[in-house]
Amino acid sequence: MDGIYSEDSIRTLEWNEHIRLRPGMYVGKLGDGVQPDDGIYVLLKEVFDNSVDEFMMGNGRTITLDISESSVVVRDYGRGIPLGKLVDVSSKMNTGAKYDSKVFKKSVGLNGVGIKAVNALSTTFRIQSFREGKSKLVEYSRGNIVNQQDIDTPSERNGTLVEFIPDDTLFGNFEYQNEYIETMVRNYSHLNTGLTIKYNGVPFVSKNGLLDLLNEKLSGKELYPPIHLKGPDIEIAITHGVGYGEDYYAFVNGQHTTQGGTHLTAFREALVKTVRDFYKKDFDASDIRTSIIASISVRVEEPVFESQTKTKLGSRDMGPDGPSVRQFIGDFVRTSLDNYLHKSPETADAIQRKILESEKERKAISGIKKLARERAKKASLHNKKLRDCRVHYGDKNELNMDTTLFITEGDSASGSITKSRDVKTQAVFSLKGKPLNSYGLTKKVVYENEEFNLLQAALNIEEDIENIRYNKVVIATDADVDGMHIRLLLITFFLQFFPDLIRQEHLFILQTPLFRVRNKKTTKYCYSIDEKEKAVKQLGSTAEITRFKGLGEISPDEFKNFIGKDMRLDPVRLTNKDQIADLLSFYMGKNTPERQEFIINNLKIELDLLEEEKVEKKVINKTETKTEAKVEETAAV
């Protein structure tokens, strides 16, 4: 029975209570630091953006960032927050100087919310402002003031210092990943030439802006030296590589908009139009953009983002009185890129050759694609490979729900997952045996190979991955040598033909338990030998131990535990140091001495597993290719 709805039912939450009750509104998902968009990185960016905004307004040329375990300290040398307003700007919603466009003209944080969210979601939050030999320190815990004092600091330079520790009751056992922090710091330095960022004592500085950023992403296999174009409030760097897909790094006011937005859409359109006009040919847009590697940065007054985490620009105009984003970027690209191509005939020729090669390949497989589409369409009527989720057949309002596609092999494994899944949001694609090794092959094989063609159709990624049907693509194979070989071949397929699917972090590996340890009262599932040993100690030496050798051995009732809300997924990621061509060449190319040495040095992984299963040593030498596949896949992922 419903409760009584009266005056007593109405509550007014304090600012910090609301943030803590609905943290997702302010920092997206919470997470433990495994993913680069987890909340702990959003907290860091909210604080760091304020210091970068100071630099952008001409105040302070150095920012220090120190991270030790769970503690984050950011110190800038800007103007410092006015001391009398320090409490207000750190604990009163919709309070800040960025409403005054004269003070912060083209800032990232405009809502007066960010730093308050950091405050409310931290067990410890200390903020201290230094101005003209005076300072004020305010300390909070979960948004509540625990201490504040005025301090004379005659020897301290002006600026602001913030220290915080995210609340582990919300973020769990979190950990900052150095890889993600370094990427963020490098991006900030590239977008703010002249700014020095000292991260844990190591200085990061960029002289050439986005040109430096693009050169860091390249592996020496670009077709021509990067084109670098700069203008008021806009900077672009462009080149073409040798692979497939499109690789963009888009920024707004120093914010990495990983989901793009109006500025990236405008750039992609302007690039195609300018190239067509320059060569006076109506090239297909996909031929122009295939294998492009580009970065674009714009400065926008009062930007509007599609979420508090600022990963996608929604602004249509450059400012209240400015041109549209589309017109501004279109005019700049049309003028600057056209001038560059006229002055650089070698680069212009290289671009034209690339376009013609892409056009030739596209036309060569056009007939095959038509037949492949018909085959995929026909197969979809009686498709035993794809068991789709109900979201794709239901109310369109549900299409924004997170969906998952499990790619698995074999009838028993597919059957277990199919019976255990959440049919509303989880789908299953069944492979028939090991997929083809696609390394070194052209995209023609995607349409000629039935498995790849149907997988591509299921994902809806033939043209690009903007309309990918599943948020998560999960490789679910047995935890043995054959299963890991299948993982390697699937990852090779995506790297070779659809690298954007990995770059945009859609691809994952499903981790399933290796052991079940149980007694009459308790059952524990263990994902490693260490976890198994701990479970045995907890449950006693008489506990029953079961080793799962394949997904098909796990009953559907048990499998529900492993693909539900606590599902363990390892993301397949590309770091700054990973170059696709080099990765594929090393792990999937000829058996070089370097790879042989790598395999020998990593054989201990295989030996440990075999020892645990008490398999005789002679089994270690079973088929060299399987052992190689196991070790190669471990490193590749």
Q: pLDDT, tens digit, for every residue of 115-157?
A: 899 999 999 999 999 999 999 999 999 999 999 999 998 889 9
Domain 366-512+548-636 has what CATH class?
Answer: alpha beta
What one-letter code names the amino acid at 245? G
What is the rounded CA–CA span in Å between residue 69 and residue 85? 31
What tokens appear for 155 in the block? 């020897």
The phi and psi torsions of 311 (rounded to 5 degrees) equal: -100, -5
The pLDDT-based confidence of 302 (bands split at 50, 70, 90) is confident
CA dist 231 and 424 (Å) reads 49
Helix, strand, or coil here: 405? strand
Model confidence at 606: pLDDT above 60: no
Res 625 pLDDT > 80: no
Q: For residue range 381-429, list pLDDT tens digits in order.
A: 445 678 888 877 665 445 557 889 999 987 777 888 888 898 888 999 9
Residue 597 has a pLDDT of: 79
pLDDT digits (tens, 9 = 90+) for 235-269: 999 999 887 778 888 998 878 887 788 899 999 99
Chain centre to alpha carbon of residue 190 = 19
Q: Residue 168, Cβ neighbours under 10 Å: how many?
A: 12
Cα–Cα dist 465/458, whole Å? 12
CATH topology of domain 17-204: Heat Shock Protein 90 (3.30.565)
Q: What residue has token string 């750039």?
A: 267
What percent of the chain stands above pLDDT 70?
Answer: 85
Check whether 609 has a pLDDT greater than 60: no
The fold for domain 210-364 equals Ribosomal Protein S5; domain 2 (3.30.230)
Rounded to whole angstroms, how far apart are CA atoms 25 and 15? Answer: 13
Tell me if 168 sits within 8 A of 70, measured CB to CB: yes
Q: Tell me how far apart the alpha carbons of residues 458 and 388 are, in angstroms, rounded to a whole number.
A: 9
Q: What digits encode the pLDDT tens for the residues 23-72?
A: 888 888 888 888 787 889 989 988 998 899 889 888 889 999 999 989 99
**DSSP annotation of 225:** P
Predicted local distance difference test score (pLDDT) of residue 198: 96
What is the pLDDT averaged over residues 587-607? 71
Other beta carbons within 10 angstroms of residue 600's beta carbon come to 10
Percent of the chain with pLDDT over 90: 31
pLDDT score recorded for residue 633: 47
Quick one: average pLDDT of 73-80? 94
Q: What pLDDT does 499 receive?
A: 84
pLDDT above 80: residue 221: no
Quick count: other Cβ atoms within 10 Å of Cβ 367?
Answer: 10
Task: Please state the length of the chain.
Answer: 637
515-518: strand order across its sheet: 523-526, 515-518, 544-547
Q: Where are the domains of the chain?
A: 17-204, 210-364, 366-512+548-636, 515-546
- The mean per-residue pLDDT over the stretch 305-332 comes to 78
Q: pLDDT value at position 616?
A: 33
Residue 629 confidence (pLDDT): 43
Residue 515 CB coordination number (10 Å): 20
The listed range with the strongest mean pLDDT (159-163, 592-596, 602-606) is: 159-163
Helix (H) or strand (E) holding 147: strand 144-152
For 470-517, write each residue's pLDDT tens digit. 989 999 988 777 888 899 999 999 988 888 888 888 999 998 888 889
Query: In whole numbers, what is the pLDDT of the chain averaged over residues?
Result: 82
- Can you give the pLDDT at residue 619? 34
Say what the pLDDT of residue 400 is: 54
pLDDT of the residue at 103? 41
Which run of H or of E encompasses 199?
strand 196-199
Q: Strands (DSSP E) along 459-557, which ranges? A: 472-476, 507-511, 515-518, 523-526, 544-547
Q: Is the pLDDT reported for residue 615 higher than 60?
A: no
